[in-house]
């Protein structure tokens, strides 16, 4: 999801792109194909964008 979250895209866009990537690369593809909308909704419900940005920025800062 890191690749898809930026100022131009929504969290929903990032989640959908990440799921599509997983399906295309055969990572949990059988489950994601059957339950794509449920997984998307679950991630949108559980995803905390502020916490993600805080953790991601902290991780990037440590590696820089």
| Domain interval for residue 53 | 11-63
C-alpha–C-alpha distance, residues 15 and 33, integer Å = 14
Assess if residue 32 is contained within a domain. Answer: yes
Assess if residue 4 is contained within a domain. Answer: no
Higher pLDDT, 34 or 50: 34
Assess if residue 55 is contained within a domain. Answer: yes
Supply the pTM of this predicted model: 0.67
Helix (H, G, I), strand (E, B) or coil at 37: helix
Number of domains in the chain: 1
- Which of 33, 4, 39 lies closest to 18 in space, CA to CA? 4
pLDDT tens column, 9-33: 888 888 999 999 999 999 999 999 9
């Amino acid at each position: 999801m890191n690749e898809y979250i930026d100022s131009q895209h929504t969290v929903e866009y990032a989640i959908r792109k990440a799921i599509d990537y997983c399906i295309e690369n055969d990572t949990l593809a059988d489950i994601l194909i059957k339950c794509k909308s449920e997984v998307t909704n679950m991630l949108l419900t559980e995803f905390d964008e502020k916490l993600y940005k805080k953790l991601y920025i902290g991780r990037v800062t440590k590696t820089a």
